[in-house]
Amino acid sequence: MQTKYLALPGPTMVNNEVLKEMTSEVFNHRGKDFYKVLQNLTEKTQQFLNTKNQVYYLTASGTGAMECAIVNSFSRGDKLLALINGAFGQRYADIAKTYGLEVIEFHGKWGQSFDYNKIKNTIDEIENLAGITVIQGETSTGVVNDLKKISEIKDEDTLLIVDGISSIGAEYIDIDGWGIDVIITGSQKVLALPPGLAIACLSDKALEAYNKSDLPKYYWDIGKYKKFAEQGQTPYTPAISLIKAAEKQLERMAEQGMGKEVQRHQIIAKMTREGIKALGLELFTEEGCRSNVVTPIKSPHGIKVAELRKLMLEKYNVEVAGGQGKLKETVFRIGHLGNVDPLFMISVLTALEMSLMELGYDVDLGTASKAAQEVLYNKK
């Protein structure tokens, strides 16, 4: 059975035109054709990210890019402040520990924004703080963290390392203006490509830190990527088909207007949440810090998350995500990023309504889709 509605926080639905590009002829990654593709892709990616910083393409998942960010930015024993209010913030901390960094964990509440005054106080108490890691869009909890505030309270010499894997393209970001030193993203999120390609964007300060780094690295050695990028190549065999697909997708996005991506995701996110609230369900994430890419929802009393997800998938061909970690039994998540459109989200909400009704929840059919449509037509 093929899932018709992939409503996950990644991977996301891929446009047929982009998929077709992946079936084109494979060519030499050391030849002139690849040089032209990589040059065009780099220009389009910088436009997508709105940055002048160099970008590098990694054949990897987002977690590989997280590891790349750590090993190129620090040395053994460096002090790192890991900001954690979800599963992926913890992952950054765990990767850093693996490489012998002295990690100070700052824990916020899952589903809530950080207390930035407390973060500032923590920063002031740490001598020789080398870096800060943070997730912009924490998909495990649906929180979007305020990178601008973090950039304003950190010291100038402290590196700001950001996971923008799911958020880039759906949330506003000013990489250069906010002084973000390393930011990464993945192909299977807002870029709406198959998984397997990651992008790392590094500032000049991050590249200076690389020159001092003594952490072990071979495949992730960003110096090699920088050297080969100057020749229009990657140091190792890239995922050529994904590179071609990325070029096609970014060209499509450029034609539609890069600046419209955030606005489109904002509208779809609001449609989703108004539909959920109309059903009487409770949103997990605190108002004021809700991400544009995913909506975590508390499962109503008496309804098991696993049963709800199974019914939606097997009967209605809609796949939503479960909760992560301690939220596994209590929360389900609707992803709304990438190539989603209003009709897609109305269909997902309708399938949710019918599934809840079949599981015994009191539903006034059509309530969620009506609320979502009212958002679309500015009536809500």
SS3 353: helix
Phi, psi of 68 (to 5 degrees): -55, -45
Instruction: Please tell me the pTM assigned to this model.
Output: 0.96
**Would you state the pLDDT for residue 258?**
77
Spell out the CATH class of 16-256. alpha beta
CB–CB of 192/210 below 8 Å? no
Share of the chain above pLDDT 70, in %: 99
Nearest to 80 by CA among 102, 95, 99: 102
**Would you state the pLDDT for residue 1?**
53
Please tell me whether 333 is known to bind a ligand.
Answer: yes
Topology of the domain comprising 5-9+259-376: Aspartate Aminotransferase, domain 1 (3.90.1150)
Per-position pLDDT tens, the chain of length 380 = 566 899 999 999 999 999 999 998 899 999 999 999 999 999 999 999 999 999 999 999 999 999 999 999 999 999 999 999 999 999 999 999 999 999 999 999 999 999 999 999 999 999 999 999 999 999 999 999 999 999 999 999 999 999 999 999 999 999 999 999 999 999 999 999 999 999 999 999 999 999 999 999 999 999 999 999 999 999 999 999 999 999 999 999 998 887 789 999 999 999 999 999 999 999 999 999 999 999 999 999 999 999 999 999 999 999 999 999 999 999 999 999 999 999 999 999 999 999 999 999 999 999 999 999 999 988 77
Neighbours of 13 (CB within 10 A): 18
**Portions of the chain given CATH number 3.90.1150.10:** 5-9+259-376
**How far is 345 from 340, CA to CA, in rounded Å?**
7
**Would you state the pLDDT for residue 51?**
96
Could you tell me whether strands 79-84 and 129-135 are parallel, antiparallel, or unpaired per DSSP bridges? Answer: parallel
Give per-residue pLDDT as tens, 38-83.
999 999 999 999 999 999 999 999 999 999 999 999 999 999 999 9
Question: 222-229 and 62-73 are packed helices; what angle lies between their axes, rounded to 10 degrees?
Answer: 100
**Portions of the chain given CATH number 3.40.640.10:** 16-256
| Angle at 76 (CA atoms; ends 72, 82), nearest 5 degrees | 75
Task: Name 305's Cβ contacts closer than 8 Å, sequence gap at least 6.
Answer: 299, 322, 323, 328, 329, 330, 331, 332
Give per-residue pLDDT as tens, 217-273.
999 999 999 999 999 999 999 999 999 999 999 999 998 887 789 999 999 999 999
